[in-house]
Amino acid sequence: MLTFAALDIGQGDGLFIESPSGVQMLVDGGPIHKIMAPLAKVMPLYDKHIDAIMITNPDADHIGGFIDILKNYDVGYIIEPGTFNPSKTYATVEQLVAEKHVKKIIARRGMKLNLGSGAYVNILFPDRDVSTWTTNDGSIIARLSYGNNSVMLTGDATQSTEGIVLKDNPARLLKSDILKVGHHGSRTSTSSSFVKAVDPTYAVISVGKDNKYGHPHKETLDTLNSFNIKTLRTDLLGTIIFKGDGIDFKL
């Protein structure tokens, strides 16, 4: 079975993936000191190895938790978009990556990460050097697939970045069962055209309860509702776990 979980890490993103062969990947780590407890609910306490971690963008609400991860787990690879954040949190994560000798990969369109047993993560964006872009515009967009199961991973990608992905990829590479909604449901992400192309059954919003940003914004919820998509939120439901058998996803 494929496991896809949106961890309850508050205001931020922290996603856990485990392929049927047991390969484990974290897509973002949430804010600092928030990921260890929810991660323990989907990984055995004795398991101290994570095959790969992906930073969709280097903002603190996506990478803070990786400080604890890098201190407590043996990490195989780290995948980054190539954008930069001048924060102390980002500097600490990069220092730990260097100290632990974690192999770093800069994500580029066309990369296909093999998670074993027919599960893959396909990088759809960045398709170019984004080192001078804003962290949100340069966010990784990727698609997890296993048989007929699929998840669109969007980080904090903006509508302009979604537009690049729409232009450069055929519909068959975008259609997904689950849409991890961009930027915690902000109105700056999740355009109608992108939602129409992805055509998900479920939308998952990783967001903190009563956050100061007002996420998720009404405009985004209205867009999802207009397509009759079942929307699930970590601020209301806590950790959200899907299991996929290659045919259907089940909560």
* pLDDT at 19 > cutoff 90: yes
Question: Can you give the pLDDT at residue 25?
Answer: 98
What is the dihedral sign for C-alpha 95, 71, 57, 82?
positive
Q: Per residue in 170-186, is it b (16+ CB within 10 Å) or e — as a string? A: eeebbebbbbbbbbbbb
Q: Per residue in 7-23, is it b (16+ CB within 10 Å) or e — as a string? A: bbbbbbbbbbbbbbeeb
Q: Tens digit of pLDDT for each residue in 103-151?
A: 999 999 999 999 999 999 999 999 999 999 999 999 999 999 999 999 9
Question: Can you give the pLDDT at residue 116?
Answer: 96
Mean pLDDT (whole number) for 220-245: 98
Cα–Cα distance for residue pair 78/64, rounded to 1 Å: 14
Q: Tens digit of pLDDT for each residue in 161-172?
A: 999 999 999 988
Question: Can you give the pLDDT at residue 210?
Answer: 96
Question: Can you give the pLDDT at residue 156?
Answer: 98
DSSP 8-state secondary structure symbol assigned to residue 172: G
Tokens of 37: 């407890």
In degrees, to the nearest 5, what angle opens at C-alpha 55 toward C-alphas 15 and 205? 35
Question: Can you give the pLDDT at residue 172?
Answer: 87
What CATH number was assigned to the domain covering residues 2-250? Answer: 3.60.15.10
Q: Tens digit of pLDDT for each residue in 77-107?
A: 999 999 999 999 999 999 999 999 999 999 9
